[in-house]
Structure 1
Amino acid sequence: MTSPGRTERLVLPGVLTADQAAATVRGIVAIQRPDGAIPWFTGGHLDPWDHVEAAMALDAAGEHERAEAAYLWLARNQNADGSWYAAYSYADDPAGAHATPGDRGRETNFCAYIAVGVWHHYLSTGDDAFLDEMWPHLFAAVEFVLELQLPGGEIAWKREDDDSHPNEALLTGCCSIYQALRCALAVAEQREEPQPDWELATGRLGHAILRHPERFMDKSRYSMDWYYPVLGTALRGPEAKERIESAWDRFVVPGLGVRCVEDRPWVTGGESAELALALWAMGESDRAVEILASIRHLRAEDGMYWTGYVFEDDAVWPEERTSWTAGALLLAVAALGGDEATTAVFDGGRLPVGLVEPPAHGCSCV
């Protein structure tokens, strides 16, 4: 059982006490299955990205064995091509440990995110044996993702079950992949196994994110497209500040949190906690704390957090307390509290940046 003593690093005045943090961690632990899987909620489905986010929250809370079990679940369930399916269910085997693929698409940002989790776990534990065990799985995942890099540097968002893929990229997904590639390069450096192809691919992707918004599908009504260039470590400094200020009033509902979609009266805990992480990464910790404090109304009696709230109807919706919402909040609190592993993967200052291709025609622009 998680004790308040193990979650002292997750204390944040106005947001979480040690007892409250311990209750939230226990909530994620209660959802985790015996085989290490962390579905959205008990009886719900699992997706690889949110599974990793919840595992990272467990590491931030000192639950390293449980986090490792989550990564070993990924190792056991990885496809031969290095990917994972977009969704898994235990509905056909509720008492057992057999996960059945649901959505058999293979989303690139879902597959890449193992690199963020593995590097975070290593920084949390210093476990070289874990890094050795996970390296082949991380390597295969990155290779799968980079097979879908398009000529402009952006990465197609999924491969279909028939192996086809759309020549379309999502900004949010690519920003997440950019962070993941930087973490993958950090793992490679730690293992003294240089990956020059990864370095070039990372540089090309970062350039596309920063300088070529036209290469991505227009999803600007979603708040994630607004803050993910910052959260994914691509954007820093005055440009990050300008981007966040440009749409603050479109997405932030004072006292309630962050809208998921601009034209919907719906604030969500996950997006709010992620924005708080982005604000922290920009050096705006006070505003980050304000955002986290604004979603206290989403906290349930068991310490978990409701996914969202429709403020025009004064209604919680959907009626789900998700592991990844709790995980995002714990990671934001961990960063604000100075947890070394969490700050390292979200600040980005100590992560490799890759190589940018030489500009054409002697241009010196970035």
Structure 2
Amino acid sequence: MISHAEVVRTAGSIAAIQQDDGGVPWPEGHVDAWNHVECLMAMSVAGLDGPVRRGYAWLARHQRPDGSWPMKLVGGAATELGGETNHAAYVAAGLWHHHLVTGDRGFTEEHWPMVKAALDYVAGLQTDRGEIVWERDARGRPSTYALLTGCSSIHQGLRCGVLLAELLGDPQPHWELAADRLAHVLAAHPEAFADKSRFSMDWYYPVLGGAVRGRQAFELLEREWATFVVPGLGIRCVSDEPWVTGAETCELVLALDAMGDRARAVALFADVQHLRHPDGSYWTGWQFANRKHFPHERSAYTAAAAVLAADALLELTPGSGLFRDVVGTPVSDPESCGCASRTSDLA
């Protein structure tokens, strides 16, 4: 297990690459709202208030009138104009996490309108069956399909939005209904989503996002454990490549912790420390057939996932239970959400 000082050092490696305008970039140089928010969450754990505030100012500045963010921005300019629903939803998770960690109600109130617009954008792209399509393209057209990983993250964002709404006395019951319907589809209707099953994220994300818990969560993870977990190294990004990645491994740590499987969470987090660099940053992945880091980069989003996993295991902040505690009750009756007979999209 890493120490609190090492967690702070890792968060500092994220702050070190934050751009002057507040954006936290991928190694390639672009910024997207989801990974940006994850990095802000990690810096919140370490108490890096200034960089976090600049990061939320970046989000507010780049949010569009419909509540979304461009898929990619470089130097503050949008280079991919579509608006991903999971990007928008994760802003709610970030703000709720910030409130848990800091208790700063004024900051939460300041950014509440941003979250409201974002989650209304997301809820507006839910199908009759209950899944939420992955984007609205540059011409404003909704996609014709949904992604399981993205919808799992959206579920968490909607639940966080409901908690923020309750805190601020501004109820948003349509978000709760959207989350309930989405949870049911995630738990019971894999046919609702495009097949990305070779990616490990599609395996564990329903647990990470809170839609699947209890016995079903244990059964789900057991089903593909041998496919994705490489003992002593971490987990594969994709099932058919000899490549483990730090971000996915740390997210599985969070999922295991959320379902109460602490022993495996601790062991897996220890395994992935081979990706830690002396400066506190983390290599993105390790190609274990060639025994080389791949890609040859250290990414802020990997460092952020490591910080969040460490916080969950060490309980360093009041936000350490974010992935354990943000859950809801899925709809149990298919007829009640319309998924038994309707599969229409938003075309």
Do both proteins adopt the same fold according to a TM-score greater than 0.5, normalized to the shorter chain? yes
Q: Deviations over 1:311-338 (max 9, x none)?
A: 1111111111111100000100101112
Instruction: Determine the structure 2 residue equivalent to 1:31.
Output: 17
Bigger relative contact order (CA 8 A; separation at least 6):
2
Asked if residue 63 in structure 1 is aligned to residue 48 in structure 2, the reply is yes
Instruction: State the shift of 1:175 in Å.
Output: 0.4
Tell me, in whole angstroms, the C-alpha distance in 1 between the residues paired with 2:319 and 2:159: 14
For 1:1-366, list aligned pairs within 5 A. 13=1, 16-41=2-27, 44-90=29-75, 99-348=76-325, 351=326, 353=328, 356=331, 360=335
Q: Is the 8 A contact 1:60 1:339 kept in 2?
A: yes
d(CA) in 2 for partners of 1:355, 1:301:
43
Contiguous gaps of at least 5 residues in structure 2: 341-347
Q: Distance in 2 between matches of 1:358 and 1:286?
A: 34
**Which string of whole-angstrom CA distances, capped at 9 and with x for unpartnered residues, describes residues 57-111 of structure 1?**
0111122332222112101110111100111112xxxxxxxx0112212111011
Please tell me the residue identity of whatever aligns with 2:328.
Answer: V
**Cα distance, 1:357 vs. partner?**
8.8
Shift of 1:354: 7.0
Aligned-partner Cα distance in 1 for 2:281–2:191: 39
TM-score normalised to structure 2 length: 0.93
Which amino acid in structure 2 is aligned with residue 353 of structure 1?
G
Give the Cα–Cα distance (whole angstroms) in 1 for the partners of residues 80 and 318 of structure 2. Answer: 32
In structure 2, relative to structure 1, the CA distance for the partners of 1:357 and 1:287 (3 Å cut) is closer
Q: Cα deviation per residue 1:149-202 (whole Å; 9 max; x = unaligned)?
A: 011100000111011122201110000000000000000000111112112111
Give 1:18 shift. 3.9
**What SS does the corresponding residue of 2:244 show, helix, strand or coil?**
strand
Query: What does the per-residue CA deviation read over 1:182-240, in whole Å, with 9 as the maximum and x for residues that have no partner?
Result: 00000000011111211211111111111111111111111000000110011111111
Provide the rounded CA distance (Å) in 1 between the counterparts of 2:92 and 2:65. 18
* Aligned-partner Cα distance in 1 for 2:180–2:3: 41
| Contact residue 34 and residue 86 of structure 2 kept, 8 A | yes
Conserved 8 A contact 1:270-1:307 = yes
Q: Between the two proteins, what is the percent identity of the paired residues? A: 47
Would you say the 8 A contact 2:70–2:82 is kept in 1? yes
Partner of 2:344: none
How big is each residue's C-alpha offset from its partner over 1:273-299, in whole Å with a ceiling of 9 and x where there is no partner? 000010111111121121111122211
TM-score under structure 1 length normalisation: 0.88
> Gapped runs of 5+ residues in structure 1?
1-12, 91-98
Q: Across the two proteins, how many residue pairs are aligned to each other?
A: 338
The verdict on how the C-alpha distance between 1:357 and 1:189 changes in structure 2, with shifts beyond 3 A counting, is farther
Whole-angstrom distance in 2 between the partners of 1:289 and 1:87: 34
Compute the displacement of 1:341 (Å).
3.7
SS in 1 for 2:81: coil
Q: Considering only aligned residues, what root-mean-square deviation do their CA atoms show, in Å?
A: 1.9
In 1, distance between residues paired with 2:236 and 2:184? 28
Greater mean deviation of Cα atoms: 281-290 or 76-85? 281-290
